[in-house]
Amino acid sequence: MIQASGRLRSLLMAVALTGGVLGCVSTPEPEPPEDIVAIAPESIRQPGPEALPPFDIGPLNLTVIGYDQIDGWATEDHRQPFEAFKRSCRVMMRKDMDELLNENAPYAGQRRDWVRPCDAIIRIPDGDAYAARRFFELEFQPFAVKDDGLITGYYEPSFEARRARSAEFSAPLLAPPSQMRSRRVGSETLVEYRQGVSYRPVPVRADIDERFSRVLAWMRPEELFFLQIQGSGRLSLEDGHQVLAAYAGHNGQPYTSIGKVLVSKGEMRLDEASADRISAWLRQNKGARAEGIMNANPRYVFFSLQPARPVGLGPDGAQGVPLTAGRSMAVDPRYHAYGAPIWVEAKTARIKGAHAELKRLLIAQDTGGAIIGPARGDVYFGSGPEAGKRAGVMNHTASFVLLIPRRLAQKLVTEMAED
């Protein structure tokens, strides 16, 4: 840990923190239960806003704030994000403690920086909303991200599938091709598959059909397309048997939003481009016209079939933990670390008929082809049609607040102040 200079040390001692919160708190919090007090870290002192202006960590411009500055924090139910974070801890703590949590996310530090909150969480009583809230307040320091970003939604869809092809079920659900691999070529990532004794690039969507790889099942074309966008889903076969179509890789091509393609062609307005509206357009324009629109997105996703999980337990996200409805978020791993708690406040809706504002603590546990950039998130809404409706209209500008373990936060603050 970098030690503070004498000047910085005096600044760091300038502001006392109530309840372990950095920054001024207008009203004192009630005393937490004894089991919470036992895990509270030593007080962290922090210079005021004039002494420590916003600073950059990687591509993120951050400002130290207090929990009293997070709109909606006091009325949030912290129990579900608490349980979701607990699942992330089980994965985060399995590897070398000296390893960076994510080398692309400087704010996340090493795995050892997360030992304290991950160790503390097992001593917090389950189902206690107050204890869950105090856990986050005592163990994490909030940092507001300067620039607004974009928050959307996704879900685990349920579709019909068949074991044999028919006129209606004509699109093949494919397994990855033989020995598919990724490798860096300059600044690009090339996805290849083995053909004979050599490797070839995996082609674009328009050039992939049932001859390319092993067929797992057959689906309606527009439903397969949306399954690929969501990344996983439940399939009901003709005999009533249900299976999980789990993400197993993609062809390495960039993701193109067909909603934007339809808008550019005058088929709908931008504020009408919800998932339901796009799906309806594809059904109404079956055949070459719909295929042409879908092929405008060159990305193609491959799957594996797995036993379906009980309803309520989501598929595994990219971190390798089951997703929690309304509490798991997909992020861009080029900027963020899996397991990080992130407060999101949705603001301006970009789609007509969008639901009310979202102010919620989420845990970064997944990623997706369309989730690109440091201020970009995708909320997992759960399984089934109702979750799909909520996810389909979640398209808002949003502000983000990163919650960083306090000891790591102290190191970051010290480093920035010394610079």
Q: Where are the domains of the chain?
A: 1-168+323-419
| Fold adopted by 1-168+323-419 | Barwin-like endoglucanases (2.40.40)
Q: Is the pLDDT of residue 350 over 60?
A: yes
**Band of the pLDDT at 43, cuts 50, 70, 90?**
very low
Q: Is the pLDDT of residue 307 over 80?
A: yes
Beta sheet of 301-307, edge-to-edge order: 158-160, 233-236, 242-250, 301-307
Q: What pLDDT sits at residue 370?
A: 80
Mean pLDDT of 215-223: 97
- Percentage of the chain lying above the pLDDT 70 cut: 84
Torsion of CA 110, 112, 117, 118, to 10 degrees: 110
Q: How far apart are CA 82 and CA 72, in angstroms?
A: 17
Considering only 277-281, 318-322, 346-350, which range has the smallest mean pLDDT? Answer: 346-350
Q: Is the pLDDT of residue 44 over 50?
A: no
Residue 311's pLDDT band (cuts 50, 70, 90)? low
Say what the pLDDT of residue 30 is: 37
Residue 36: pLDDT band with limits 50, 70, 90:
very low
Tell me, what's the pLDDT at 379? 94
Average pLDDT, the chain: 84
- Per residue in 387-410, pLDDT (tens digit) is 888 888 888 999 999 999 999 998
In the predicted structure, residue 3 carries a pLDDT above the cut 50: no
Task: Kindly report, residue by residue over 314-330, the tens digit of the pLDDT.
Answer: 888 899 999 999 999 99
> Which tops the pLDDT comparison, 109 or 9?
109
Say what the pLDDT of residue 20 is. Answer: 33
pLDDT at 24 over 60: no
Q: In this predicted model, which residue has the larger pLDDT, 148 or 53?
A: 148
For the segment 5-34, the average pLDDT, to the nearest whole number, is 32
- The pLDDT assigned to 388 comes to 84
So what's the pLDDT on residue 184?
84
Q: Mean of the pLDDT values across residues 40-56? A: 49
Q: pLDDT tens across 78-89, in order?
A: 999 999 999 999
Query: 45 pLDDT exceeds 50?
Result: no
Per-residue confidence (pLDDT) for residue 355, from 0 to 100: 63
Q: Does residue 18 have a pLDDT over 90?
A: no
The predicted pLDDT at position 243 comes to 93
